[in-house]
């Protein structure tokens, strides 16, 4: 995600150059051949944190997932995103708010982690089903 909060196309320079180039090669159309997976689910948690002390439980407070079409180097339009209501440390630490930009009202109106995991399962099942219908 760029500074404007928009998702960008993934370019080949961003791929890990240590990958086995005999297995994964760019083809003329700009896609990847020999790739084990056509799509990847990428997640980027944010967690409750404090500057001056280690928390005994670091709870997830933001749960985003995007689906990347590896062959076409594109992030699919459908995105999964929920704020999670922390249970052990329900009050966000000022450092956490400053670091993540996540406000107390966002997590207060969030959902429990278990509900987010249930919703993620549905999201991924729907994506897998829809993706399976896309011709290669």
Model-level pTM?
A: 0.69
According to the model, what pLDDT value does residue 69 have? 87
According to the model, what pLDDT value does residue 17 have? 36
Instruction: Tell me the C-alpha to C-alpha distance, in Å, between residue 14 and each of 11, 76, 96, 123, 133.
Output: 6, 18, 29, 27, 28
Q: Return per-residue pLDDT of the chain as tens, 136 residues.
A: 444 544 445 554 444 433 333 334 455 455 555 667 788 889 999 999 999 999 999 999 999 999 998 888 999 898 999 999 999 999 999 999 999 999 999 999 999 999 999 999 999 888 776 665 555 4
- Where along the chain do its domains lie? 38-132
According to the model, what pLDDT value does residue 71 have? 85
Q: How far apart are CA 69 and CA 10, in angstroms?
A: 10
Fold category of 38-132 in CATH: Nucleotidyltransferase; domain 5 (3.30.420)
């Amino acid at each position: 995600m760029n500074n404007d909060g928009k998702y960008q196309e993934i370019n080949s320079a961003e791929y890990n150059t240590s990958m086995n180039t005999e297995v994964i090669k760019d083809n003329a159309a700009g896609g990847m051949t020999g790739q084990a997976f056509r799509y990847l689910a990428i997640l980027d948690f944010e967690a409750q944190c404090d500057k001056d002390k280690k928390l005994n439980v670091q709870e997830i407070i933001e749960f985003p997932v995007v689906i990347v079409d590896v062959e076409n180097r594109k992030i699919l339009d459908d995105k999964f995103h929920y704020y999670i209501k922390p249970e052990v440390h329900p009050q966000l630490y000022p450092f956490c708010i400053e670091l993540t930009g996540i406000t107390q009202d966002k997590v207060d109106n969030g959902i429990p982690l278990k509900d987010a995991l249930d919703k993620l399962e549905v999201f991924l099942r729907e994506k897998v089903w829809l993706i399976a219908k896309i011709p290669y």
